[in-house]
């Protein structure tokens, strides 16, 4: 407990230190060093708390209305702390080299200050046990991340993205304010253990929480800030935002579920619905993007959707009192949270390396990067395999558990559980296929084939940037192989989240554990087979005639690199299928005449929620407000008339 | 009976290529030719294994890894598939998903290997491949979920062990729908007419073939053998449902299943020689309708 | 006895209507001055039978200020700022008159709704006070020149004063004098302001003082 | 003690008018204000005795507002020293209309500043309604010349509107006082003296219809000064044209004093068991003010006007808080403190920006964070604070008000309150961030390489206080606010 607080304090202190220090090199060192140190400290204590799941809490009176400095580490918090500190440390290491490019043109103090503040506030969010404390940490987190998003604010796009993010997160917080106030009325205290559905019905609280936390987590209708903010931020920050900050929203939702007592069935259905929308919608928009970081951001929406599917089916199970389904759903969701933190962090870091080396985020301008940046390319491939949920890497584990939960739901008699379970099953399958398409596209077009442009001078980043990526890639494999252990560690977490007794959770998880062991053996079998085949291949080719040549050009002489299949053409068949949802915009200039001019095709897929919902609404409000501006016309007589009328109206109203 | 497990593991590895030649023979017969020798696929594989290789300058290790990983995934997946009513050598609850995702892994590596060549045709094929498999995936899952629901068990072996004549007696219509769905998946995943034409020579119309154009030597051998294995795996899923011979006598059931596989191969051949490849835009309709079939089956079971 | 009070009260009301209808600034100033004098009369009339120093002092102050000083001050401004002598109404005289009578009605209605806790010296006090106040407000709203608005402000104050002197016995002289002083300063400061406005803008038409606005800005 | 509070600034004002040496006068200004502030601080230690039969008394409510005033005047005075140094004397060209103009003589400015302080002090300590009225009116008169410091068209227009509108309002308040007197004049017996304490003690004898009417008049009258919509019309003009430190005092201190006037009336109303009557009016005025502020904050092109409208909004918040009652009253008074500090800080920073960029148009200001790092940081921080983001003070008070509203079951009020706060947030975010970030828009030739210390330190100190109030409310302050809230039932 104290250790975590010390770690948080260290983070904040080093952040301040980075601001006061003038020399850029030292400021960089202090910022990154402090971040890493603090995170390691926190990691240690969080791991400790998770292993021998012992709840430590600390409550200090605090002189603000309704507030108390009340913090606690239970299994759930410990899990999230682990992610937060772990990824923050890696991101900080990576960042220390990443920001060196800006040393000469930027003051690095503020970025480091806000980075460390972000890490600290996220930690505070997951250990806070008092509504006010939570809200403060929550808002500090939002602000710190906002300033990080604004890192290179000369660009108009970045400023717009920052604005969107700030507005979205603020509006989300408004719902949380109401949520905590209403929940606090039950027993007249904002401490979590006294919150509950008292004056307001539980369902109202639940909906408030879904909107409030969902905005942060990136649930589909409220996700619009996400594909703007994540590309705008520097990559190590995007990694942190996507990897863990979104998860604080899920954390909040899980906490809420523990506060509100036994859930009605429709909560589960709602969550399943949200998960399905976010999952399919997210991956479809990811498929349609040209900007690699934007694509990754949308895929975060998708993965949050998968997590929500897990939680949703879990809630359905809880409600129908089918603990097997409930436990599998929750554990699947939690493990997917962990996995997503790992591989999405990895993907953002690798993408960042490519973007910094080539100076473009346009997928269609890249290509053949694998040859120039083999390390980055290989770890990116690992991340891609993982995020597509393919065995033997970690991504598969989480999805497998959710699938298992869904299957169990399908085979449970009756249709209360079976129907949502089927939805989850079909949805996951579709999402999986689309994700494979999307990531085959991004990996294939960016790293494989022939270089298109802009990549000539690209080169591998330094060790400080490579090390974190490699660490994360190893993590993907390890989690994949140590899945049973991980699940066993998560038992208390699941117990905390579902409110089921630990024994029951463990009992219901044991079949899943045996399957996982089998899966791991399959995975090992696969690896062995691959190894054997590679050996065989070597033996066969040894001494045989192996030559290099051009790609078979199907009869075209001199195919140029620009004739390669582009990302948009790769995705075109699928985007065609879902055109109704994506509404991709095309500007096409077809070749015409005998000697045609240069023809061109441009496609762009803006977010449908932004274009169809938010922009119209905001526009309407703005116009409406502008129409009222004549009130302040500047004629003093009429101003006095206002006063007279107000007086007259009041006299008539109150006395007449 | 001690050799049963060996047979069980050996059978697919041994007989999978035979399915290819059965299909080819059928088509030849229908076309009035006498067709290639029965062992042609085996000979092809062996010949390719003995050849050298040519690699495009644009490719990287990903290109070389593609076929290896693909065939490895398929080899492992054969161990998961029950045959002839006997449980598979590896069986656990949820192996359905592992199977599906192993196929996915194989496909994914084939696709990125194709993209590694930088050829626009390979890219085109890859794009079509992912499109169709994306739509085939839910159909497969829903179909298997239906069987799971019917037999209320979560592992392939238990599911297929549970499907018997009795099951058909109670739920014939639902199972028929599931069979239909599985058939479509079988054809689509194995790049067969009406989804894809393995014998075409026009790159523009190819899907699976064009992706492997650049491979040669052992890699191509792996690919050919892998596709045979895939044929076997999905075929076994289909046959295990369609031929519910569960006498308990391993030899009888096995024989029935083998007959079923042969029948499936011939049916494929007949389909291929009786109809043409559909236009690409129509293929999704076929796959979606497969999903609908499976969903319908589930509805029948849920009520 | 109430005739002593009623007559000036009625006169005050009449001056109000007169003011609404009159078109020349100089005339308006005189009318307001007369009104001020009337207030003095009322002050004395209210406390007629107990012959005290206090009401007399007050009355003297009133007459001095409202009857003499303000008019002098304003007419001086008028002379300094050689502006057109018209009132330049936004609302025409006839309609102003009609509105005036309407306001008279309203003020009687309102006073009917507010029964006095203690019997007043005259039943006319409340309506006349309210009426004069309304007239003041109305003039501020409906006249263009800044000078006229200051005048209107004085009228407004007059109405309030009528109310105070007619109904409120308790208020100690200190407050009343404070009030008077205050109004005096107010008018004085506004006079200066007008003076400057005239110098800066060469007019005292407040209709044209519309630089500061959020409309079409 | 109370006399000292009044006399220090008054005498200083008189003397300052005579002093010719600028340096001496500025020193006097600061010392006088500091002395005044220290006396105020002393009143916390030893409550001063009441004077003139309870006409002048310092109760909890008054002390709170007096302390706010003093706490703002001191930084404003310090800031003014630097400001007056920077203000080039003599005739110069006005950057908006290009006409020539000069400043008012500095002596006038200084003494008016001190008189203004004296007047506000009188407002906070006078318990006799008549006297309160006089005090509030005199704040108008003392501040008018301050607004007209830069002698050009716009400031003159602003001054004129300020004078006229506030005088009308104040006149209505006077009528309200008389109504109150009528309500207090009981049959036969001697009328109740119009002193807060007597009125509250003998509230039962008050005549209700007249009391209600009196409250309406007082509310409209003092509400005009306080800037409640639709009576707020003078406020944006005056705030945008006055020198920034004057705007800081207007927003931070003056509006509160007017609010105090309303609260005094509300006190009597509560004592007479008519609290609900007043609260309804306050809530409706409050929501209306927030709405009107929202209309003009969104897409506001002039950043000083934006701050002014935000003041309207926060006056609305205060009204809503008191109107909702219960815990919200505490929140509202706490918010009065927070808002005053934050808004004053923002206006001072706006002054710095104006001095460098020479334009009040938010569209032409870019990259403040780069040109003026310190001011820019304070500007953004101030924006976050004033829009109620943690960890700044206003968040706590607004949160408390929300809690109170929901605890009272005023769901609609709470909903509107939150919605309007959100709209204002969006509006201000758009304007402020556009100014703060981005590549600098061509700064004027005489951009200071270092920002003058006297222009940075005062707002910085206030900012620190606001931040601290956001994470920790000293027991002393809490008790004081609680006591003040207690006076309002």
Chain A: residue nearest D214 by CA?
A651
User: Helix H segments across A359-462?
Assistant: 369-372, 374-387, 394-411, 418-447
- A529: CB partners within 8 A, 6+ apart: B72, B75, B76
pLDDT of residue D443: 57
Same-domain check for residues A270 and A380: yes
Same-domain check for residues A633 and A504: no
Q: Between chains, do A640 and C137 touch, taking CB under 8 Å as contact? A: yes
Put simply, the chain C residues between 167 and 206 with a CB less than 8 A from any chain D CB are 167-171, 175, 178-179, 182, 185-186, 189-190, 193, 196-197, 200-201, 206
User: Minimal CA–CA distance to A498: which of A49, A75, A207, A40?
Assistant: A75
Q: For residue A631, give its domain range.
A: 608-655
Average pLDDT taken over every residue of chain C: 79
Total domain count for chain D?
1
pLDDT at C80 exceeding the cut of 80: no
On chain A, the residues whose CB falls within 8 A of the CB of D421 are 174
Nearest CA of chain C to the CA of A153: how many Å?
28
How many other CB atoms are found less than 10 A from the CB of residue A622? 15
- A65: CB partners within 8 A, 6+ apart: D327, D330, D331, D396, D399, D400, D403, D473
Is A52 within a domain? Answer: no
Q: How confident is the model at residue C82 (pLDDT cuts 50, 70, 90)?
A: low
Tell me the residue length of chain C: 217
Q: Kindly report, residue by residue over A618-628, the tens digit of the pLDDT.
A: 999 999 998 88
Q: Kindly report, residue by residue over C8-30, the tens digit of the pLDDT.
A: 889 999 999 998 888 888 888 88
Q: Kindly report, residue by residue over D67-93, the tens digit of the pLDDT.
A: 999 999 999 999 999 888 887 777 777
Of B60, B68, B138, the CB nearest to A537: B68
Q: Between chains, do B94 and A404 touch, taking CB under 8 Å as contact? A: yes
Same-domain check for residues A328 and A476: yes
Same-domain check for residues A342 and A478: yes
Does the beta carbon of A635 lie under 8 angstroms from any beta carbon of chain C? yes
Does the beta carbon of B111 lie under 8 angstroms from any beta carbon of chain A? yes
What are the Cα distances from residue D327, in Å, to A131, A445, D262, D341? Answer: 17, 61, 19, 22
Is C196 within a domain? Answer: yes
Q: How confident is the model at residue B277 (pLDDT cuts 50, 70, 90)?
A: confident
Mean pLDDT of A1-27: 89
Does the beta carbon of D174 lie under 8 angstroms from any beta carbon of chain C? yes
Mean pLDDT of D365-384: 91
Is C212 within a domain? Answer: no
Does the beta carbon of A634 lie under 8 angstroms from any beta carbon of chain C? yes
Q: For residue B95, give its domain range.
A: 57-302
Does the beta carbon of B228 lie under 8 angstroms from any beta carbon of chain A? no
Does the beta carbon of D240 lie under 8 angstroms from any beta carbon of chain C? yes
Is B281 within a domain? Answer: yes
Q: Kindly report, residue by residue over B185-204, the tens digit of the pLDDT.
A: 999 999 888 888 888 777 77
C157, C168, C213, best to mutate vs chain D, most D CBs in 10 Å: C168
Nearest CA of chain B to the CA of A582: how many Å?
16
Q: Kindly report, residue by residue over A152-170, the tens digit of the pLDDT.
A: 888 889 999 999 999 999 9
pLDDT of residue D189: 67
Is A206 within a domain? Answer: no
Q: For residue D389, give its domain range.
A: 289-489
Q: Kindly report, residue by residue over D46-73, the tens digit of the pLDDT.
A: 888 888 877 888 888 999 999 999 999 9
pLDDT of residue C169: 65
Chain D: residue nearest A634 by CA?
D233
B47, B54, B134, B174, best to mutate vs chain A, most A CBs in 10 Å: B134
Mean pLDDT of D158-187: 86
pLDDT of residue C61: 81
User: Minimal CA–CA distance to A573: which of A288, A283, A302, A295?
Assistant: A288
pLDDT of residue A423: 93
Reduced DSSP (H G I as helix, E B as strand, rest coil) percent helix, strand, coil of chain B, to 5: 75, 0, 25
Q: Between chains, do C141 and A632 touch, taking CB under 8 Å as contact? A: no
Q: Kindly report, residue by residue over C108-139, the tens digit of the pLDDT.
A: 888 887 777 777 777 888 889 889 999 999 98
pLDDT at B1 exceeding the cut of 50: no
Total domain count for chain C?
1
Task: Enter the pTM of the model.
Answer: 0.93
Average pLDDT taken over every residue of chain B: 90
pLDDT of residue C24: 85
Mean pLDDT of B280-292: 91
Q: Which chains touch D (3 or more CB pairs under 8 A)?
A: A, C
Is D455 within a domain? Answer: yes
User: Would you call the peptide bond into B194 cis, given omega within 30 degrees of 0 as the criterion?
Assistant: yes
A15: enclosing H helix or E strand: helix A2-20
Q: Kindly report, residue by residue over B103-116, the tens digit of the pLDDT.
A: 999 999 999 999 99
Of B56, B137, B218, the CB nearest to A537: B218
pLDDT of residue D371: 86
Chain A: residue nearest C138 by CA?
A641
A61, A105, A153, best to mutate vs chain D, most D CBs in 10 Å: A153
How many helices, marked H, and strands, marked E, lie in chain A? 25, 5
Does the beta carbon of C115 lie under 8 angstroms from any beta carbon of chain A? no
Mean pLDDT of A577-582: 89
On chain B, the residues whose CB falls within 8 A of the CB of A373 are none
Q: Kindly report, residue by residue over D330-353, the tens digit of the pLDDT.
A: 999 999 999 999 999 999 999 999
pLDDT at D254 exceeding the cut of 50: yes
DSSP 8-state assignment for residue A551: P
Chain C: residue nearest D209 by CA?
C114
B137: enclosing H helix or E strand: helix B120-151
- A437 with A429: CB under 8 angstroms? no
Is C51 within a domain? Answer: yes
- A626 with D296: CB under 8 angstroms? no
Is D423 within a domain? Answer: yes
Mean pLDDT of A3-20: 91
Is B20 within a domain? Answer: no
Is B115 within a domain? Answer: yes
> What does DSSP say about strands A56-61 and A585-589: parallel, antiparallel, or unpaired?
unpaired
How many other CB atoms are found less than 10 A from the CB of residue A652? 13
Mean pLDDT of C74-94: 75
Tell me the residue length of chain B: 303
pLDDT greater at residue B294 or residue B193: B294
What are the Cα distances from residue A262, in Å, to A268, A420, B99, B129? Answer: 11, 18, 36, 45
Q: Kindly report, residue by residue over C95-107, the tens digit of the pLDDT.
A: 888 999 998 998 8
pLDDT at D446 exceeding the cut of 60: no
Q: How confident is the model at residue C1 (pLDDT cuts 50, 70, 90)?
A: very low
pLDDT at B163 exceeding the cut of 50: yes
Q: Kindly report, residue by residue over A266-307, the tens digit of the pLDDT.
A: 999 999 999 999 999 999 999 999 999 999 999 999 999 999
Is D443 within a domain? Answer: yes
Is B211 within a domain? Answer: yes
Q: Give the phi and the psi of residue A187 in degrees, each rounded to 5.
A: -120, 20
Q: How confident is the model at residue A23 (pLDDT cuts 50, 70, 90)?
A: confident
Is D33 within a domain? Answer: no
Q: For residue C42, give its domain range.
A: 2-206
pLDDT of residue C149: 83
A636, A638, A649, best to mutate vs chain C, most C CBs in 10 Å: A636
Q: Kindly report, residue by residue over A580-614, the tens digit of the pLDDT.
A: 888 888 888 888 888 888 888 888 888 888 888 99
On chain D, the residues whose CB falls within 8 A of the CB of C190 are 163-164, 167
Torsion from C-alpha of A200, A204, A206, A211, nearest 10 degrees: -130
Total domain count for chain A?
2
On chain C, the residues whose CB falls within 8 A of the CB of D193 are 170
Same-domain check for residues A312 and A355: yes
Is D247 within a domain? Answer: no
On chain D, the residues whose CB falls within 8 A of the CB of C196 are 148, 151, 156
User: Would you call the peptide bond into A392 cis, given omega within 30 degrees of 0 as the criterion?
Assistant: yes
Q: Between chains, do C160 and D157 touch, taking CB under 8 Å as contact? A: no
Q: Between chains, do C141 and A638 touch, taking CB under 8 Å as contact? A: yes
Q: Kindly report, residue by residue over A498-518, the tens digit of the pLDDT.
A: 989 999 999 999 999 999 999
Of C134, C140, C210, the CB nearest to A640: C140
Which residues, in sequence order, are bridge partners of residue A128? A71
């Amino acid at each position: 407990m104290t250790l975590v607080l010390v770690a948080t304090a260290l983070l904040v202190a080093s952040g301040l230190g980075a601001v006061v220090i003038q020399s850029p090199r030292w400021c960089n060192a202090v910022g990154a060093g402090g971040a890493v140190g603090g995170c390691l400290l926190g990691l240690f204590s969080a791991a400790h708390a998770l292993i021998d799941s012992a709840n430590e809490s600390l409550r200090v009176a605090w002189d603000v209305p309704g507030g108390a400095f009340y913090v606690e580490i239970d299994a759930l918090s410990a899990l999230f702390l682990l992610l937060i500190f772990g990824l923050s440390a890696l991101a900080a290491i990576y960042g220390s080299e990443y920001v060196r490019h800006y040393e000469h043109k930027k003051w690095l103090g503020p970025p480091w200050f806000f980075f460390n503040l972000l890490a600290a506030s996220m930690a505070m969010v997951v250990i806070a046990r008092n509504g006010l404390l939570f809200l403060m940490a929550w808002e500090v987190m939002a602000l710190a991340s906002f300033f990080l998003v604004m890192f290179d604010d000369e660009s108009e796009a970045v400023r717009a993205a920052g604005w969107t993010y700030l507005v979205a997160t603020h509006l989300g917080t408004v719902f949380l304010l109401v949520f905590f106030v209403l929940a606090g009325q039950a027993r007249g205290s904002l401490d979590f253990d006294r919150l509950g559905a008292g004056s307001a019905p539980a369902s109202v609280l639940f909906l408030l929480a879904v909107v409030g936390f969902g905005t942060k987590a990136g649930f589909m209708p409220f996700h619009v800030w996400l594909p703007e903010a994540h590309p705008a931020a520097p990559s190590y920050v995007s990694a942190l935002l996507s990897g863990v900050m979104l998860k604080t929203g899920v954390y909040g939702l899980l906490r809420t579920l523990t506060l509100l007592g036994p859930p009605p069935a429709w909560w589960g259905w709602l969550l399943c619905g949200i998960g399905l929308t976010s999952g399919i919608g997210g991956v479809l928009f990811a498929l349609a993007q040209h900007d690699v970081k934007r694509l990754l951001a949308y895929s975060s929406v998708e993965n949050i959707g998968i997590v929500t599917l897990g939680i949703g089916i879990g809630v359905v199970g809880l409600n129908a009192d089918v603990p097997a389904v409930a436990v599998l759903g929750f554990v699947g969701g939690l493990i997917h949270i962990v996995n997503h933190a790992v591989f999405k962090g990895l993907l953002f870091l690798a993408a960042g390396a490519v973007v910094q080396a080539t100076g473009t985020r346009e997928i269609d301008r890249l290509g053949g990067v694998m040859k120039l940046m083999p390390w980055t390319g290989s770890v990116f491939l690992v991340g891609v395999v993982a995020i597509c949920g393919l065995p033997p890497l970690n991504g598969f584990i989480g999805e497998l558990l959710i699938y298992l939960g869904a299957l169990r739901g399908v085979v449970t008699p009756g249709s209360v559980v079976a129907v949502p379970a089927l939805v989850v099953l079909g949805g996951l399958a579709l999402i999986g296929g689309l994700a494979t398409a999307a990531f085959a596209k991004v990996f294939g077009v960016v790293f494989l084939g022939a270089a298109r442009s802009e990549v000539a001078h690209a080169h591998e980043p330094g060790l400080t940037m490579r090390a974190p990526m490699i660490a994360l890639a190893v993590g993907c494999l390890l989690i994949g192989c140590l899945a049973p252990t991980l699940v066993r560690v998560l038992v208390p977490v699941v117990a905390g989240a579902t409110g089921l007794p630990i024994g029951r959770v463990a009992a219901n998880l044991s079949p899943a554990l045996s399957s996982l062991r089998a899966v791991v053996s399959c995975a090992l079998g696969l690896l062995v087979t691959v190894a054997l085949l590679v050996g065989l291949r070597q033996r066969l080719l040894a001494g045989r005639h192996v030559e290099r040549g051009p790609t078979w050009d199907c009869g075209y002489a001199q195919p140029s690199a620009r004739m390669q299949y582009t990302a948009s053409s790769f995705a075109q068949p699928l985007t065609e299928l879902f055109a109704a949802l994506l509404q991709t915009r095309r500007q096409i200039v077809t070749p015409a005449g005998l000697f045609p001019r240069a023809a061109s095709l441009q496609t762009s897929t803006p977010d449908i929620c932004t274009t169809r919902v938010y922009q119209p609404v905001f526009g309407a409000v703005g116009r409406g407000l502008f129409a009222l501006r004549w009130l302040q016309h500047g004629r003093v007589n009429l101003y006095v008339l206002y006063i007279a009328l107000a007086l007259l109206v009041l006299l008539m109203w109150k006395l007449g | 009976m001690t050799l049963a497990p060996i047979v069980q593991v050996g059978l697919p590895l041994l007989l999978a290529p035979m399915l290819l030649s059965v299909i080819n023979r059928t088509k030849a017969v229908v076309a009035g030719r006498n067709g290639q020798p029965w062992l042609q696929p085996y000979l092809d594989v062996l010949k390719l294994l003995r050849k050298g290789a040519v690699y495009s300058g644009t490719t990287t290790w990903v290109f070389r890894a593609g076929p290896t990983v693909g065939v490895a995934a398929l080899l492992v997946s054969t161990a998961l598939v029950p045959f002839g009513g006997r449980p598979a050598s590896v069986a656990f609850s949820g192996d359905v998903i592992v199977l599906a995702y192993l196929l996915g892994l194989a496909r994914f590596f084939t696709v990125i290997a194709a993209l590694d060549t930088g050829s626009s045709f390979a890219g085109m094929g890859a794009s079509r491949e992912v499109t169709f498999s994306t739509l085939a995936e839910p159909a497969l899952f829903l179909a298997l979920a239906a069987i799971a629901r019917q037999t209320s068990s979560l592992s392939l072996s238990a599911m297929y062990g549970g499907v018997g004549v009795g099951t058909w007696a109670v739920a014939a219509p639902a199972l028929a729908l599931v069979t239909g769905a599985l058939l479509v998946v079988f054809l689509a995943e194995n790049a067969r007419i009406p989804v894809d034409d393995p014998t075409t020579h026009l790159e523009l119309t190819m899907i699976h073939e064009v992706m492997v154009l650049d491979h040669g030597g052992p890699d191509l051998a792996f690919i050919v053998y892998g596709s045979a294995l895939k044929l076997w795996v999905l075929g076994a899923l289909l046959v295990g449902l369609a031929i519910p011979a569960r006498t308990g006598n391993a030899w009888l059931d096995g024989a029935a299943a083998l007959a079923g596989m042969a029948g499936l191969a011939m049916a494929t051949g007949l389909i291929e020689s009786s109809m043409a490849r559909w236009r690409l835009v129509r293929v999704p309709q076929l796959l979606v309708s497969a999903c609908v079939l499976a969903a319908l089956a589930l509805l029948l079971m849920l009520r | 006895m109430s005739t002593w009070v009623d007559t000036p009260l009625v006169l005050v009301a009449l001056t109000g209507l007169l003011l609404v209808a009159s078109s020349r600034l100089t005339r308006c100033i005189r009318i307001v001055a007369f009104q001020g004098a009337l207030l003095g009369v009322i002050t004395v009339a209210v406390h007629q039978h107990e012959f005290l120093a206090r009401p007399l002092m007050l009355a003297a102050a009133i007459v001095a200020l409202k009857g003499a000083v303000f008019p002098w001050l304003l007419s001086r401004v008028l002379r300094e700022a050689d502006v057109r002598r018209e009132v330049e109404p936004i609302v025409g005289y006839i309609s102003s008159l009609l509105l005036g009578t309407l306001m008279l009605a309203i003020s009687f209605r309102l006073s009917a709704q507010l029964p006095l806790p203690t019997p007043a010296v005259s039943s006319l006090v409340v309506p006349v006070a309210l009426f004069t106040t309304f007239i003041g407000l109305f003039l501020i709203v409906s006249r263009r020149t800044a000078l006229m608005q200051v005048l209107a402000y004085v009228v407004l104050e007059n109405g309030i004063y009528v109310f105070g002197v007619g109904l409120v016995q308790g208020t100690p002289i200190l407050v009343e004098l404070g009030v008077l002083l205050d109004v005096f300063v107010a008018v004085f400061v506004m006079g200066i302001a007008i003076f400057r406005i005239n110098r800066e803008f060469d007019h005292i038409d407040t209709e044209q003082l519309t630089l500061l606005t959020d409309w079409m800005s | 003690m109370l006399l000292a509070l009044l006399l220090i600034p008054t005498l200083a004002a008189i003397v300052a008018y005579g002093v010719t040496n600028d340096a001496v006068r500025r020193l006097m200004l600061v010392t006088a204000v500091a002395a005044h502030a220290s006396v105020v601080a002393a009143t916390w230690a030893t409550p001063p005795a009441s004077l003139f039969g309870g006409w002048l008394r310092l109760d909890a409510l008054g002390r709170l507002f007096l302390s706010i005033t003093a706490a703002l005047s001191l930084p404003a005075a310090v800031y003014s020293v630097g400001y007056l140094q920077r203000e080039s004397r003599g005739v110069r060209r006005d950057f908006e209309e290009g006409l020539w103009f000069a400043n008012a003589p500095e002596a006038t400015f200084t003494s008016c500043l001190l008189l203004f302080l004296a007047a506000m002090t009188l407002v906070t300590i006078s318990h006799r309604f008549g006297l309160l009225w006089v005090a509030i009116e005199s704040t108008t008169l003392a501040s008018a010349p301050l607004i007209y410091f830069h002698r050009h068209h716009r400031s003159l227009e602003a001054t004129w509107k300020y004078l006229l509108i506030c005088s009308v309002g104040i006149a209505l308040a006077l009528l309200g006082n008389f109504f109150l007197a009528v309500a207090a004049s009981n049959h036969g017996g001697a009328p109740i003296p119009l002193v807060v304490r007597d009125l509250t003690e003998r509230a039962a004898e008050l005549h209700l219809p007249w009391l209600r009417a009196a409250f309406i008049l007082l509310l409209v009258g003092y509400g005009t000064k306080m800037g409640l919509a639709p009576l707020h019309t003078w406020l944006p003009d005056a705030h945008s044209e006055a020198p920034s430190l004057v705007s800081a005092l207007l927003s931070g201190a003056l509006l509160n004093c007017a609010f105090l006037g309303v609260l005094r009336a509300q006190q009597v109303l509560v004592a007479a068991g008519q609290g609900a009557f007043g609260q309804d009016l306050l809530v409706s005025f409050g929501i209306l003010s927030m709405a009107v502020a929202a209309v003009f904050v969104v897409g506001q092109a002039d950043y000083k006007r934006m701050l002014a409208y935000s003041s309207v909004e926060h006056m609305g918040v205060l009204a809503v808080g008191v109107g909702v009652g219960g815990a919200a009253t505490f929140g509202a008074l706490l918010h009065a403190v927070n808002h005053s500090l934050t808004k004053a800080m923002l206006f001072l920073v706006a002054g710095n920006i104006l001095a460098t960029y020479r334009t009040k148009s938010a569209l032409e200001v870019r990259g403040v964070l780069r040109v003026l790092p310190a001011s820019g940081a304070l500007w953004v921080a101030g924006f976050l604070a004033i829009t109620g983001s943690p960890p700044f003070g206003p968040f706590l008070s607004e949160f408390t008000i929300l809690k109170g509203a929901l605890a009272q079951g005023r769901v609609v009020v709470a909903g509107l309150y939150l919605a309007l706060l959100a709209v204002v947030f969006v509006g201000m975010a758009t304007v402020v961030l556009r100014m703060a970030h981005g590549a600098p828009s061509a700064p004027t030739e005489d951009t200071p390489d270092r920002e003058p210390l006297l222009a940075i330190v005062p707002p910085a100190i206030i900012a620190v206080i606001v931040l601290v109030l956001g994470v920790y409310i000293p027991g002393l302050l809490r008790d004081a606010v609680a006591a003040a809230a207690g006076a309002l039932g």
